[in-house]
Amino acid sequence: MVALPGPQAIVLAMFSSAEKNNFPGNDIPCTIAPLDQLRLVSEVAINRHAEAASSHHHPSSRDTPIKQPERAKFATMAKLAAALTVLALLGCMARECQAGYASPPPHTPCSPGHPSTPPSTATTPPPATTPSPPASAELVVGYYQKTCHRAEDIVREAVRNANAGIMAGLVRLFFHDCFIRGCDASVLLDQADPSSATEKFGLPNLSLRGFEVIDAAKARIEKECGNVVSCADVLAFAGRDATYFLSNKKVYFDMPAGRFDGRVSLINETLIHLPPPFATVEQLKAGFAAKGLSADEMVTLSGAHTIGVSHCSSFDDDFSDRLNASTSDMDPKLMRSLEKQCRSDTGSDNTVVQDIKTPNKLDNKYYKNVLSHEVLFASDAALLMADDTSAAVRANADDNNVWEEKFKAAMVRMGAIEVKTSADGEIRRSCRVLNTY
């Protein structure tokens, strides 16, 4: 699981008449939310869209606190955006009831690619220390060797030029893409269905970053090779390369390719498929299992919480209540520090680093933080609440090399979720819009 904005916790209550600890489930009825919940959702959306507007209206801009006088400047636009968000959510609830983590639809295999050894250049990392596990019969290592042999080098160069915060954002962007409709670059779309906003504008995705890196890599590839490399593969390569640089060039692996870009992106699907920061361990297992990933792979991928930042609202809310000393198991020293950073009188939803010890390094420090109760999210702390996940946490904390190898394999496995084919996908010319013929 990757860091998600906290206000989604409020919205998730709209999907079930049960308590939050019953989410997700395969037999939970959907109900229309009370008016006070809708009001609160509107207020949250207004604040978040105002923050996005203050960051030059770009979803990938770095989040910065917005001061009270600036809010009025964006009030009209923000209210319209909030109304769109609420209407989209209501539209979702009006449909046939869906489980919190719905099973993916069946898909047809991708066309086979052209396997070959990636080219050796100055920016190409050394070969993986162990062979990458097979992701899927449809995806192939070196897929673009004959049609655009520098594709992976171009993506790697674009990622290398980004800062650590954006690199962390790229890992998260890859996760959020794969968990909604599969790894099909649907999260990159600014528009798709005229009747609905896209995934990018769902509450869990408003703080996503890294879009400009994908745009830059795709533009350069289009210039050199034409329209042959999918945005979905560009994003998969970028997620892989971000882990390489954030791990001080220790975590490198071959990422199979051959994905096509999806044509559907709906705002209301973000809350259904992305695990919330207050999820229990059983909910996390169910959510990852629905995507074909094991409990051990879930724990392994959670290690990405050692990089990047989180909004305070993701853990300091009525659902998680992580800063409540009477109910939380968080380390008291960390709790006091977070209270100072999060509970200001400015009305801003501040951001804090997820790992106070190695915030810009991808390593196994996250698991040591879980064991010492120095993690932000209730879902992180929940990993100790089951024997199998607790054992996995301890094993990963004990041996960084073991975790690195598992992380490589899990990233490849995640990258094979619900891949699109030429029958139900395309290769976009621009990652932000669908092709027009």
Q: Is 199 annotated as a binding residue?
A: yes
Q: Is residue 346 a contact partner of residue 354, using CB atoms and an 8 Å limit? A: no
| Secondary structure element (H or E) that encloses residue 313, with its range | none
**Among the options 49, 176, 273, 311, which is catalytic?**
176
Q: Is 184 annotated as a binding residue?
A: yes
Structure tokens, 79: 């209210």
Q: How far apart are CA 148 and CA 229, in angstroms?
A: 8
Q: Is 363 annotated as a binding residue?
A: yes
Whether 149 is a known active-site residue: answer no
Structure tokens, 331: 């380390």
Cβ-count burial 173-190 (b if 16+ within 10 Å, e if not): bbbbbbbbbbbbbbbbbb
Q: How far apart are CA 350 and CA 158, in angstroms?
A: 28
Tell me the C-alpha to C-alpha distance, in Å, between residue 182 and each of 261, 298, 347.
10, 16, 36
Q: Is 426 annotated as a binding residue?
A: no
Q: How far apart are CA 156 and CA 214, in angstroms?
A: 11
Give the HSE-up count for residue 174: Cα atoms under 13 Å, Cβ half-sphere.
28
Q: Is 346 annotated as a binding residue?
A: no
Q: How far apart are CA 89 and CA 386, in angstroms?
A: 33
Nearest to 198 by CA among 216, 215, 185: 185
Annotated binding site: 177, 182, 184, 186, 199, 275, 305-306, 355, 358, 363
Annotated binding site for Ca(2+): 177, 182, 184, 186, 199, 306, 355, 358, 363
Annotated binding site for heme b: 305
Annotated binding site for substrate: 275
* Active centre residues (catalytic): 176
